C-alpha cells in the first residue's frame, strides 16, 4: 500500500513539475521568438523608410543609404509591379529566380511575414507606397524588403530542443527525487499507521478472552436450565465480572481513539485541585485499608488550576489504582500536591515492587504491561498510563516516573499555570 502511494506521489510530483517546466519553457520560447522577430521587423521597417526609389533614365534605381554599422545584416529589396511581376531585385541577383515565386505570393500582406524557401527562412516586409511614382515606361506597386533569418531560426530551434530536453530531464529527475522524498515523508505516516494497526489488533485480542469466558459460562447455564439462580451464582458472577471488565476496556479504547482523532473537548474551568485530590484519596481509602496499605495525603490548601476536572479525576484514579495494585500489603502510598515556581506539582509515591528499568521507557505505551505473569492476576490492560499521559499533555503538563525495583515508584506531574490548554 505504501509502495503504491509512494510511486503515485512521485509520478504526480513529476507530472506537476513537467507541466510547469513546459509552461515556463513555452513562455521563454514565445518571448524569445517575439523579441528576435521584433528586432528584425523594426530593422526592416527602418530600411524601408530609408530607401527611395528613383526613376532615372536607365529605369528604376534604388537609393539606399549606406549601412549605419557593421552589425547591419544584408537584406535584399524586390520591386514589383501591379500584377505581381518582378521589376527589379536589388542588389541585382541577390534573390535567385526560383525563390521569386514564393515572395510574389506574399505581396498583399501588411504585416511582416516569415517564409520558408528551399530550406531557408526569410522575413519579408511589403509596403505599398501611397503614391507609386509612375512614368510611362516604368511603374511599380510594391516594395518588398527581405532578410535571411536562418541564424535566428537556428537559435530558436536550438532553444526549443533545449527546452524539451530540459523538461524531460527535469521530469526524470523529479521522479527520482520525488520517489526518495515521498519515501521519507511516508515514514511517520507509516509508523502511525502501523501503530494504529497494532492498537486494533491488541484491542481485539484483549476482547477475545473475556468474550470466550462469557460464552463458556452462558453455555454452561443453558446446559442446566433446571438450576436455580443461587445454584448458578458462580457462573453468573463470572459473566458479570467479565462484562464489567469489557465495559472498562471499551471505555478506555474509546477515550484513546477519540483523543487520537482530536474529538475530545476539554471543559476547562477554574477548579480547586486540592479538593479534587482529597476527594480522590478518600475514595481509595477503603481499598487501601483492605490491602493494609497506609495512604497519606500531603496537600497544600487553596490550589487552583484551570483544568477539566473530570479528566483530572480520571488521571488521579489511574495513578492511585496503579499504586494500590502494584504495592504489596503493608506498604505506603503518599499523595502530595504543592505549588512550585511555574505551576502545580502532584506526585504519587508508593513503596511497591517498582518498575524494571527495561520496562520504564514503554510503560506509557498502549497495552504495555510490565510484568505479564503478575498482571494477569491483577487484570489490567495496560491502557491506564497511556490515558494518563494524554490527559497530562492535553493540559500542557508533564508526567515523569522514577522507580527502583523492590523499593517503590513515584509518578510526578507538573501543570503549568496561566496557560490556555489545548483540547
Q: Which stretch binds ligand ATP (CB under 6 A): 38-46, 90-98, 115-123, 368-376?
A: 368-376
Cβ nearer to ligand ATP, comparing 178 with 352: 352
Site membership for ligand ATP, residue 404 (CB under 6 A): no
Give residue for cell 445454584. Answer: 231
317, 278 contact by CB (below 8 A): no
Q: Which stretch binds ligand ATP (CB under 6 A): 108-116, 236-244, 278-286, 381-389?
A: 381-389
68, 47 contact by CB (below 8 A): no
Task: Find the shortest distance in angstroms from Cβ 373 to ligand ATP.
Answer: 11
How many residues touch Mg ion under the rule CB under 5 A: the total is 3
Q: Which of residues 305-344 bind ligand ATP (CB under 6 A)?
A: 322-323, 326
Task: Find the shortest distance in angstroms from Cβ 365 to ligand ATP.
Answer: 8
Cβ nearer to Mg ion, comparing 235 with 351: 351
Site membership for ligand ATP, residue 352 (CB under 6 A): yes
Please tell me the number of Cα atoms within 13 Å of 143 on its side-chain side.
Answer: 25
Q: How far is CA 12 from the centre of its chain?
A: 13
Ramachandran angles phi, psi of 314, nearest 5°: -60, -40
Q: Which long-range contacts (CB under 8 A, 24 or more apart) does 278-283 make?
A: 279/313, 280/313, 280/316, 280/317, 280/320, 280/335, 281/320, 281/335, 283/317
Task: Find the shortest distance in angstroms from Cβ 399 to ligand ATP.
Answer: 11
Give the number of residues written for the chain: 423
Site membership for ligand ATP, residue 355 (CB under 6 A): yes
Closest to 271 in 3D by CA, of 88, 64, 107, 415: 415
Q: Exactly one of 25, 331, 352, 384 binds Mg ion (CB under 5 A); which one? A: 384
Cβ nearer to Mg ion, comparing 170 with 380: 380
Q: Which stretch binds ligand ATP (CB under 6 A): 25-33, 104-112, 123-131, 351-359?
A: 351-359
Site membership for Mg ion, residue 370 (CB under 5 A): no
Site membership for ligand ATP, residue 368 (CB under 6 A): yes
Q: Which stretch binds Mg ion (CB under 5 A): 136-144, 177-185, 273-281, 376-384?
A: 376-384
Among ligand ATP, Mg ion, none, the one that 375 touches (CB under a kind-dependent 5 to 8 A) is ligand ATP
Site membership for ligand ATP, residue 385 (CB under 6 A): yes
Task: Find the shortest distance in angstroms from Cβ 398 to Mg ion.
Answer: 19
Q: Exactly one of 305, 312, 335, 383 binds ligand ATP (CB under 6 A); which one? A: 383
| CA atoms 227, 228, 231, 234: torsion sign | positive
Cβ nearer to Mg ion, comparing 36 with 383: 383
Q: Exactly one of 381, 391, 397, 399 binds ligand ATP (CB under 6 A); which one? A: 381
At 362, list the grid cell: 514503554
Q: Exactly one of 259, 322, 327, 349 binds Mg ion (CB under 5 A); which one? A: 322
Task: Find the shortest distance in angstroms from Cβ 349 to ligand ATP.
Answer: 9
Q: Exactly one of 241, 275, 375, 398 binds ligand ATP (CB under 6 A); which one? A: 375
At 415, list the grid cell: 501543570
Site membership for ligand ATP, residue 245 (CB under 6 A): no
Count of beta carbons in the 10 Å neighbourhood of residue 42: 11
Q: Exactly one of 25, 170, 210, 382 binds ligand ATP (CB under 6 A); which one? A: 382
Q: Which stretch binds ligand ATP (CB under 6 A): 96-104, 129-137, 147-155, 380-388?
A: 380-388
Cβ nearer to ligand ATP, comparing 15 with 317: 317
- Residue 78 β-bridge partners: 89, 144
Interface with ligand ATP (CB under 6 A):
322-323, 326, 350, 352-355, 363, 368-371, 375, 380-386, 409
Interface positions with Mg ion (CB under 5 A): 322, 380, 384
Amino acid at each position: 500500500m505504501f509502495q503504491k502511494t509512494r510511486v503515485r506521489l512521485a509520478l504526480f510530483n513529476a507530472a506537476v513539475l513537467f507541466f510547469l517546466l513546459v509552461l515556463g519553457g513555452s513562455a521563454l520560447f514565445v518571448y524569445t521568438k517575439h523579441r528576435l522577430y521584433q528586432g528584425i521587423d523594426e530593422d526592416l521597417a527602418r530600411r524601408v523608410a530609408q530607401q527611395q526609389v528613383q526613376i532615372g533614365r536607365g529605369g528604376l534605381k534604388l537609393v539606399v543609404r549606406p549601412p549605419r554599422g557593421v552589425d547591419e545584416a544584408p537584406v535584399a529589396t524586390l520591386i514589383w509591379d501591379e500584377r505581381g511581376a518582378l521589376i527589379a531585385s536589388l542588389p541585382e541577383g541577390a534573390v535567385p529566380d526560383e525563390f521569386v515565386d514564393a515572395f510574389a505570393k506574399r505581396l498583399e500582406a501588411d504585416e511582416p511575414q516569415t517564409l520558408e524557401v528551399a530550406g531557408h527562412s526569410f522575413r519579408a516586409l511589403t509596403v505599398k507606397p501611397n503614391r507609386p511614382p509612375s512614368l510611362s515606361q516604368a511603374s511599380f506597386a510594391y516594395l518588398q524588403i527581405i532578410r535571411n533569418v536562418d541564424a535566428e531560426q537556428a537559435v530558436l530551434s536550438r532553444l526549443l530542443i533545449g527546452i524539451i530536453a530540459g523538461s524531460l530531464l527535469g521530469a526524470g529527475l523529479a521522479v527520482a527525487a520525488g520517489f526518495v522524498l515521498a519515501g521519507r515523508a511516508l515514514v511517520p505516516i507509516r509508523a502511525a499507521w502501523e501503530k494504529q494497526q497494532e492498537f486494533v489488533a491488541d484491542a481485539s485480542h484483549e476482547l477475545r478472552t473475556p468474550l470466550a469466558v462469557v460464552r463458556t459460562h452462558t453455555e454452561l447455564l443453558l446446559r442446566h436450565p433446571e438450576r436455580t439462580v443461587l445454584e448458578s451464582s458462580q457462573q453468573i458472577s463470572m459473566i458479570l465480572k467479565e462484562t464489567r471488565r469489557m465495559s472498562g476496556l471499551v471505555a478506555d479504547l474509546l477515550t484513546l481513539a477519540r483523543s487520537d482523532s482530536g474529538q475530545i473537548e476539554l471543559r476547562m474551568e477554574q477548579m480547586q485541585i486540592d479538593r479534587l485530590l482529597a476527594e480522590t484519596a478518600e475514595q481509595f481509602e477503603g481499598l487501601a485499608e483492605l490491602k493494609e496499605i497506609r495512604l497519606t495525603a500531603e496537600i497544600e490548601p487553596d490550589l487552583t488550576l484551570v483544568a477539566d476536572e473530570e479528566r483530572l479525576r480520571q488521571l488521579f484514579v489511574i495513578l492511585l489504582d496503579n499504586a494500590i495494585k502494584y504495592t504489596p500489603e503493608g506498604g505506603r502510598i503518599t499523595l502530595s500536591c504543592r505549588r512550585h515556581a511555574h505551576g502545580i506539582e502532584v506526585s504519587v509515591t508508593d513503596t511497591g515492587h517498582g518498575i524494571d528499568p527495561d520496562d520504564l521507557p514503554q510503560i506509557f505505551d498502549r497495552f504495555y504491561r510490565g510484568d505479564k505473569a503478575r498482571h494477569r492476576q491483577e487484570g489490567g490492560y495496560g491502557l491506564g498510563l497511556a490515558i494518563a499521559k494524554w490527559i497530562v499533555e492535553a493540559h500542557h503538563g508533564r508526567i515523569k516516573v522514577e522507580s527502583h525495583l523492590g523499593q517503590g515508584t513515584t509518578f510526578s506531574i507538573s501543570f503549568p499555570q496561566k496557560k490556555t490548554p489545548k483540547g
